[in-house]
Amino acid sequence: MVIAILVCVAATAASIALRLHAVTTGPVAALAGQDTKVTAEITLTNDPKIRRPKPGHFGRDSVVAEATLDSVRTPRHHLTVHTPITVFADGPQWRHLLPSQRVEVTGRLVKPTSAPLTAATLLVRTPPRILTSPSNLQSAAGIFRKGLRDAADVLPPDQRGLLPALVVGDVSRIDPQLNSDLQEAGLSHLNAVSGANLAIVAGAALALSRLVGLPLAPRAAFAALAMLAFAVVARPSPSVLRALLMGLVAVLALGTGRAKDGLAALSVTVLLLILFAPDLAHSYGFALSVTATAGILLLAPRWRAHLTNTPTTAQSPTSPGSTPEGPTSTSLTFLDPTPSRPPHPSPTPQGPSFPCPTPSDPPPLPPTWEPASPLAPYRSDEHPGAGATKGRRWRMPRWVAEAIAVPAAAQAAVTPVLVLMSGQISLIAVPANLLAGPAVAPATLLGFAAALIAPVWPEAAQWLVVPAGYTVGWIILVSQWAVNVPMANISWPGGAAGLALLALVAAVAVLLLRRRAWRTITLAVVAGTLFTMIALRPIIAPWPPRGWLMVMCDVGQGDGLVLAAGPGRAVVVDTGPDPSVMDACLRRLSVRDVPLVILTHPHADHVNGLPGVYRNRRVGAVVTTPHRHPTPQTARLTEELAHHRTPEWTPPPGTRWDLGPASLTVLAPSADEATAEGPGEGSVLNNASIVIHVRWRSGTALLSGDIESEAQESLLRAAVPQADILKVPHHGSPRQVPAFFAAVRPRAALVSVGEDNTYGHPAPPTLAHLRHLGARIYRTDKSGDLAVIAHNGTLAVVARGR
């Protein structure tokens, strides 16, 4: 065994070393080291992936594609090569390209930054010139994927996006908020194709071939063809590759009549994939897939047997391997109350005989035989067929035990990888998977059938996706429920330290759970602790604080404020850069109705979170600045408002709304005055920000958007009002006017800023000016959400904490 392991390790190391040598030496690596401008012919090896700009960063969507570099032309060289590269580009022309297509592009070869097994990164700034069409196989796969997308158009938006993602791995239309919910609920494996989908297709193929009466070998071949077809249509992701190889090994064993060993198949699969695709060695997706499968193979059968009291062996108390106290097996079930007698020894053949002891036949036991151990009382007339299970009188049905053991084993196995990835442990993943699991098989089979028939019979495909939509709708409901459960995910130290702590906790848990008395006490303590944390935390540290008037949500580098407008109602001023973060903040505040949304100016870190406000809420109207310049964010905003049929207002200064406890007055800007220009990027739009003065019985606040020094001086000339609370303009940038702060005279200054942002916000001079005026500074990057409340007739700020 040791020699075999060392051989496998050596082979894997050699494969990775050869691949590293190939991509780090040669002409392509040399050109990349010189940042050379080239004209290249490339062959796509995977679908181009659309990459959204990071929250708080400006710019349009970009494209990341994996490709093989076929030829390179420079002013001095023309080389023919075959080297893996990563392509970064932008433009809508890339969206419709398929794997196996050859295109010509012009760009710059640079050293790779994140993919260690690629020779270079090609930065492309020109549209691709298509040289060849995709292969027949990839064209067919693209047609099937498009057919499923078109058929899913009859479904609601969330179902329309999730069904193609679940069935064929097409995530082009999945809602970002739904994607976030699935990840938080531990259901992220359902928004993309995994080995479970492939197993479902293979099982259906086997059942269908058996139904038509095919022999064993053709049945196995038909299942293999179905798995290959599914892998091509769904694209070979790491989990699909792993499951495909395992499935082919399994059907080979089925066709030849040999016994199947799941762990051996997994081991061979991992070894082959690492040998021939060594870049999978640093893929978290592949690691999650392998560890989940290993957990299901190693842990799930034992846990299922424990839950059902299913024996692993069936020995009588007097058979070999037993002890006077009872059988060596810890989980025995006698189908008859009287254990069977061991067989007589075979007659000795003729020839020389040797003296040896012969076991005597044990006396038959009466029907009401009871074990000698007082800890396991058993009477056959009380519970027939249950015997010798150490006092267990109740058995969980096998299908229930299977449903619990499989997701629990998978989650336990992937937890170390999740700790390394994100420093979190999910407590809701197992129940969420238990609830969502039954919907996966019908959604996969109906969706895959719809994809196959959509190119020839679109109407029938639409009939199939309607029931499939109901099943993915159930998955969506489960994810939405799971993210609202208190303490669904708990923070855990990341990296090696977190992994060591997890191993220590697991070792202690195993020791405590080995004995029944300790197990009962441990489970009682854990249950009591969880109940205390869930029940008492809202009492000890309630959020939101009672009677809150305004909350500055921690949206990262951006703005997102919520003003109370009555029970379950609120006004939203800016929505931050991320819809899921904004929606989570509104959920924490129990906001269900938004009569008014004020978007101070169309920058991504203020408007991109608007879809999160719309999620499961009614929005009355949206207020925008009268100075709207053509930007990608402006175009998206117009499209979003038109999609939801939300009226858009551009009110002049002096407009006032009285909503709940708050009175809001617009101070700027005026449509008649030109927007002041500044030296910084985006200064024109920043100075066009809507400025709002808010008045409550206990005090006032000034919400200043991202106005810079030019707009601040304009407000000074118009006599800016004083305010107890100041939303510091532009995340505390250095372009501030000290006289503006002095005119407002705030007692507290709230800064909405992202942790470790690259802009240097908030600037030290800005903070110094505010401290000089005696204002107390609160920052979302330090304190998380910030709530303004009424306290003893004045305003106070309460921090939620990060």
3-state secondary structure of 122: strand
pLDDT tens digits for 117-147?
Answer: 788 888 988 889 999 888 888 888 888 888 9
Query: Which pLDDT belongs to residue 699?
Result: 94
CA terminus-to-terminus distance, the chain: 49
> With bands split at pLDDT 50, 70 and 90, how would you rate the model's confidence at 324?
very low
The two tokens of residue 709 are 């020094």
Model-level pTM? 0.69
What are the pLDDT digits (tens) for 177-195? Answer: 788 888 888 887 777 777 7
Cα atoms found within 13 Å of the Cα of residue 743, Cβ hemisphere only: 16
For the record, the structure tokens of 377 come out as 């009382």
Residue 640 has pLDDT above 90, yes or no: no
Residue 554: pLDDT over 80: yes
- The answer, yes or no, to whether residue 41 has pLDDT greater than 80, is yes
Q: How far is CA 268 from CA 11, 243, 262, in A?
A: 13, 12, 10
620 — phi, psi (to 5°)? -80, -55
Annotate 274-316 with DSSP letters as a single string.
HHH-GGGGG-HHHHHHHHHHHHHHHTHHHHHHHHHT--S----
How many other CB atoms sit within 10 Å of the CB of residue 155?
A: 20
| Residue 770 pLDDT grade (very low, low, confident, very high; cuts 50, 70, 90) | very high
| Residue pLDDT, tens place only, 148-163 | 989 999 998 888 889 9
- Quick: pLDDT tens for 230-239: 888 887 766 6
Highest mean pLDDT among 206-210, 345-349, 553-557: 553-557
In the chain, helix, strand, coil percent, each to 5?
45, 15, 35
DSSP 3-state of 98: coil
Average pLDDT, the chain: 79
Proportion of the chain above pLDDT 70, given as a percent: 82
Q: What percent of the chain shows pLDDT beyond 90?
A: 24
- List, in sequence order, every residue forming a beta bridge with 703; answer none if it has no partner: 692, 727
Mean pLDDT of 442-455: 90
Q: Who wins on pLDDT, 380 or 460?
A: 460
pLDDT of residue 638: 83
Helix (H) or strand (E) holding 586: helix 579-588
Would you tell me how many other CB atoms lie within 10 Å of the CB of residue 713?
Answer: 14
Contact 690, 625 (CB under 8 A): yes
Quick: pLDDT tens for 382-435: 444 444 444 444 567 777 777 777 778 877 888 888 777 766 677 788 788 888
Higher pLDDT, 285 or 39: 39
Beta bridge partners of 106: 39
pLDDT at residue 768 tops 90: yes
Find the mean pLDDT for residues 773-789.
93
Q: Which of 719, 684, 723 is nearest to 704 (CA)?
A: 723
Q: Are 731 and 761 in contact (CB under 8 A)?
A: yes
Within 10 Å of residue 732's Cβ, how many Cβ atoms? 23
Amino acid, single-letter form, for residue 681: E
> Residue 22 corresponds to which tokens in the numbers above?
């190939």
Average pLDDT over residues 335-342: 35
Axis crossing angle, helix 495-513 with helix 398-422, rounded to the nearest 10: 150
Which region among 290-299, 420-429, 533-542 has the lowest average model confidence (pLDDT)?
Answer: 533-542
For residue 200, what are its two tokens?
């479902």
Highest mean pLDDT among 34-43, 52-61, 199-208, 395-404: 34-43
* CA angle at 281 for the pair 278 and 283, rounded to the nearest 5°: 120
Q: How many CA within 13 A on the CB side of residue 38?
A: 30
To the nearest 10 degrees (0 to 180), the angle between helices 157-168 and 458-483 is: 100
Judged against a pLDDT cut of 50, whether residue 327 lies above it is answered with no
548-552 β-sheet, strand order:
648-649, 618-624, 593-599, 569-575, 560-564, 548-552, 786-791, 794-799
Q: Which has the closest alpha carbon to 663: 739, 721, 606, 731?
A: 721
| Model pLDDT, residue 532 | 65
| pLDDT at residue number 534 | 59
d(CA 203, CA 200): 5
- Confidence band, pLDDT 50/70/90 cuts, at residue 751: very high
Q: Which residues lie across from 300 on neighbouring strands?
A: none
Beta bridge partners of 702: 693, 726
